[in-house]
Amino acid sequence: MTRIYSILSFFLCSGIAAAFLFGIAGNGPSAQRAADVNKGMEIAQQICSTCHIVGKDAKGVVKADVPSFTSIADKPGQTTEFIVGRLVLPYRPMPDLKLTRLEMADVAAYIMSLREKQ
Ligand code: HEC
């Protein structure tokens, strides 16, 4: 019985600790500043343009099967959160680019700034 309690309290405590840590990590960068579209554009040009077409007017593909940023932005129901999610957990062959949360938010904001559909 006591064993169950200690296991339960362990999970409870680590849950609270995790929530606390994530709370700090989550609030930290966004508390400092909001996502920056221009910074996101720089990241896109430097890091993402090897594979993706990142500009507003450019159409077509750099490599077959890599969606352009305008087409990603214009996907039905596209959201900043979905784009950040794809950067946190990229599907193959998209690599894990090891961006910080703030860089992800910047580049996602840049991609969404290309959206033409409402
Ligand atoms: C090495 C090549 C490569 C690089 C560099 C790269 N990507 Fe990708 N990315 C891909 C490929 C390939 C896919 C399509 C994966 C698939 O089929 O789902 C993709 C998919 C995506 C998607 C999901 C699109 C969707 O509609 O599901 C997003 C968002 C994305 N990339 C953003 C980025 C951003 C932002 C960067 C730069 C920080 C970046 N990518 C850099 C290759 C790359």
CA distance 1 to 43: 54
Q: Write the pLDDT tens digit of every residue in 6-18.
A: 544 544 444 444 4
Q: Provide the residue count of the chain.
A: 118
Ligand 1 mutation target, pool 78, 94, 104, most atoms within 8 A of CB: 94
pLDDT one digit per residue (tens) for the chain, 118 residues: 555 455 445 444 444 444 444 444 444 444 568 999 999 999 999 999 988 999 987 665 556 678 899 999 999 999 999 999 999 988 777 888 889 999 999 999 999 999 997 7
Whether the predicted model's global pTM rises above the 0.85 cut: no
State which ligand 1 atom lies nearest to the alpha carbon of 103: 38
CA distance 98 to 115: 25
At residue 82, the 3 state secondary structure works out as helix
Per the CB < 8 A criterion, the answer to whether 103 and 94 are in contact is no
Residue 3 corresponds to which amino acid? R
The finding on whether 83 has its CB within 6 A of some atom of ligand 1 is yes
Domains of the chain are 2-113 (1.10.760)
